[in-house]
Amino acid sequence: MTIPNTLAARSQILGRLRAVPTTALPTPSLDAYLHGPFGRGSVGARIDPATLVAPFEAAARGWRADVLHARPGDWPQAVRAALDARGVRRLVLGRAAAARPDLTAALQGLERTVFDQPIDTWKGELFDRVDAGFTFTEAGIADTGTLLLRPGADEPRTLSLVPPLHVALLRASTLYAGLPAALRALAPEAAMPTNLLLVTGPSKTADIQQVLAFGAHGPKELVIVIVDDQAAPLTFAAAQGDAA
């Protein structure tokens, strides 16, 4: 078979690409988006988080997440109750969570593994034996029932991706109406992390014959424990135990 000579065609295409002006394109205006329904709370005063608890819960439940409520003083017990209700015996958590005495006390009797070692040394245990992972969250997005996580060395993203059950702690004071409002408040670009995770319900896919299946690429079940801390908002450091 004779292979056609495409050198001239390729040269012509590349020449046209190289001839494209390199002047920077104008920055598009986002005003219409930010002032529209999807930009709620991103412009002007922040929407009161107290008004966002109910819509967040409704949206999260719509994605088949379970939602529990707790107070600042008893959320560890709420986490334990969620684990017991699902028969969890082995839990993995980050270093920050493991450092909290109140959470440690509430989890007595469970087999706990702290994610403080290279994953290659315990990969089999993580994938084959661990029932659930626990994480804190950076914020919640009411319009979609989405959690925003900022993984780091103290709480690797594996905690929320590998175990079949993900239990996440969300402070009500960190609720925002939409993603633009959350990003404006959190300004992650100031200290860009390796990644930000947006978690909307348990893992799901309909790739095969458009039949919805859960747990194909991550946790099959998601439990969100909302802490009513609006009267005295917990700081991120306090929630993770640094100030405990």
Largest CA distance in the chain: 78
Render each residue's pLDDT in the chain as its tens digit; 244 residues: 788 889 999 999 999 999 887 888 888 899 999 998 889 999 989 999 999 999 999 999 999 999 999 999 999 999 999 999 999 999 999 999 999 999 999 999 999 999 988 888 999 999 999 999 999 999 999 999 999 999 988 899 999 999 999 999 999 999 999 999 999 999 988 888 888 999 999 998 888 888 888 888 899 999 999 999 988 888 755 455 443 3
Q: What is the β-pairing status of strands 132-136 and 165-171? A: parallel
**Rounded CA separation 124/121 (Å):** 8
Cα–Cα distance list, 166 to 57, 158, 220 (Å): 16, 11, 8
- Show the beta-strand stretches assigned E in the chain: 66-70, 90-93, 111-114, 132-136, 139-141, 146-149, 165-171, 175-176, 197-199, 204-205, 213-214, 221-227
Residues 73, 76, 80, 85, Cα dihedral to 10°? 60
What does the DSSP 8-state code read for residue 202?
S
0.75 exceeded by the pTM? yes
